[in-house]
């Protein structure tokens, strides 16, 4: 899986990459530079070719093991070395996870994602997660897990348990990655993604914007994702949630329309992926969220909390869907 390099081939068409060819950084920069109306029109046109334009997939994310992570990700309040007030908590029980999943299903979610603050799971921890996966699958929901770096054979165990998706974000462009994280390389992340693919799991992989990166870096992030072979089935685009005590607290906030542009570029370059509005949605106005849906976002995290940060509550999301004429995508 070679996802880091971009070839130098140029193509004059900025909204599609011909079959068998890779998206170049220059092509995606050209997309970002389009007049806003033209970019949104192209993204919506691509979206309608592959999806119901008014259906949104609902996922719920639960932290099954919170805090105490040894990594130094500059955005994360769960890193043990950051003083954010998030303590090292024990893993939830299977019963607690099933109760949360059942409530999420009753509220309309079709996918349930379980996250754990580890560098990677130890075997005894993985066995507990496997029990959770089996139990949630028993409710008839799609399952997703984000557990950090996977060792040889662990993805196969998760697949055998019935896991549908594994989330492991590449976070940002290769050249900016070292500004955000030093305890693991992006190649470490790519190795885990390769293990996930080889095990036959679907890939959920995206990144975070608003961390002080340039537009070129945002374009490079989209290029890297789009040039994966195949590109991820789910692409979460996160807008940095600034948490006091993390190194990125106080970073200049990304212009909301630039976030919409990022969504549009993800949709155009990965036409069949579920493009998800993820972290940071609570800080977005209804108008910006509406533009994101128009730009091709067709998945959200649904529920009042994302791991340790806030998220719009269910009633607020239902009210927004009613205003926009959107409906939950049925499994």
Catalytic (active-site) positions: 69, 73, 76, 113, 144, 204, 276
Contact 102, 65 (CB under 8 A): no
The tokens for 119 are 């560098």
Beta bridge mates, 112: 60, 143
| Alpha carbon distance 32, 258 (integer Å) | 9
Q: Over the Cα atoms of the chain, what is R_g? A: 19
Beta strands in the chain (DSSP E): 55-65, 111-116, 142-146, 165-167, 202-204, 207-209, 234-239, 274-277, 299-301, 305-306, 309-310, 327-328
The tokens for 243 are 């948490």
The tokens for 65 are 């093991």
| Alpha carbon distance 324, 317 (integer Å) | 11
* DSSP-derived 3-state class of residue 260: helix
CA angle centred on 305, ends 223 and 233, rounded to 5°? 30
Number of Cβ within 10 Å of residue 99's Cβ equals: 12
């Amino acid at each position: 899986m070679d996802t880091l390099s971009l070839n130098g081939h140029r193509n004059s068409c900025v909204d599609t990459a011909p079959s068998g060819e890779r998206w170049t950084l220059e092509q995606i920069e050209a997309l970002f530079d389009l007049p806003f109306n033209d970019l949104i029109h192209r993204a919506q046109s691509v979206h309608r070719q592959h999806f119901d334009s008014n259906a949104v997939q609902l996922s719920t994310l639960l932290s099954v093991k919170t805090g105490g992570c040894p990594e130094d990700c500059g955005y994360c309040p769960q890193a043990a070395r950051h003083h954010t007030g998030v303590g090292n908590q024990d893993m939830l029980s299977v019963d607690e996870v099933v109760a949360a999943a059942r409530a999420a299903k009753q509220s309309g979610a079709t996918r349930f994602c379980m996250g754990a603050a580890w560098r990677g799971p130890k075997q005894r921890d993985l066995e507990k997660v496997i029990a959770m996966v089996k139990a949630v699958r028993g409710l008839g929901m799609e399952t997703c897990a984000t557990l950090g770096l996977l060792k040889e054979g662990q993805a196969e165990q998760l697949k055998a348990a019935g896991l549908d998706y594994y989330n492991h974000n590449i976070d940002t462009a290769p050249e900016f990655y070292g500004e955000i994280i030093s305890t693991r390389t992006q190649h470490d992340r790519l190795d885990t993604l390769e293990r996930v693919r080889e095990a036959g799991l679907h890939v959920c992989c995206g990144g975070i914007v608003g961390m002080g990166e340039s537009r070129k870096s945002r374009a490079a992030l989209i290029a890297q994702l789009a040039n994966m072979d195949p590109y991820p089935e789910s692409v979460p685009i996160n807008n940095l949630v600034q948490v006091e005590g993390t190194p990125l607290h106080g970073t200049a906030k990304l212009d909301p329309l630039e976030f919409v542009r990022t969504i549009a570029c993800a949709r155009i370059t990965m036409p069949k992926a579920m493009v998800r509005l993820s972290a940071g949605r609570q800080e977005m106005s209804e108008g910006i969220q509406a533009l994101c849906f128009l730009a091709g976002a067709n998945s959200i995290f649904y529920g009042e909390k994302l791991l340790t940060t806030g998220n719009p509550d269910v009633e607020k999301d239902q009210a927004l869907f009613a205003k926009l004429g959107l409906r939950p995508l049925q499994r």
